């Protein structure tokens, strides 16, 4: 055992499943973390921000190619 340990563990005690309540609390916290994990680390908010960051530089170019009214009509036609 390294120096400075508060309590020495008996050599026959298992690492997990000891008799103290802290072991159960640690397992419960670990289960809760795994349960709340997402399948993919991508959120809807991240996709919206990426789309906005991609489209913002393109808007001035589109406005030079077609009028704003026509651009808005096409955009609303796609969305609705």
**pTM, to two decimals:** 0.41
8 Å CB contact between 19 and 25:
no
Name the residue range of residue 68's domain: 20-80
* Least confident among 6-10, 37-41, 64-68: 6-10
For the residues 59-72, what does the mean pLDDT come to?
84
pLDDT band at 46 (very low <50, low <70, confident <90, very high): very high
How many domains would you assign to the chain?
1
70's CB contacts (< 8 A; 6+ apart) are none
Mean pLDDT of 33-60: 89
C-beta separation of 23 from 17 below 8 A? yes
Specify the length of the chain in residues: 80
Return the structure tokens found at 10. Answer: 């008996």
Q: What is the pLDDT of residue 47?
A: 92
Residue 13 lies in a domain: no
3 occurs within a structural domain: no
Quick check: 17 pLDDT over 80?
A: no
Residue 62 within any structural domain of the chain: yes
Phi, then psi, of 71 in degrees rounded to 5:
-65, -40
């Amino acid at each position: 055992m390294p120096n400075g340990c508060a309590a020495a563990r008996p050599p026959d005690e298992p690492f997990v499943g000891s008799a103290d309540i802290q072991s159960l609390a640690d397992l419960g916290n670990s289960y809760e973390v795994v349960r709340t994990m997402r399948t993919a680390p991508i959120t809807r908010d991240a996709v919206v921000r990426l789309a906005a960051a991609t489209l913002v530089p393109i808007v001035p170019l589109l406005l030079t190619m077609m009028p704003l009214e026509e651009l808005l009509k096409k955009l609303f036609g796609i969305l609705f």
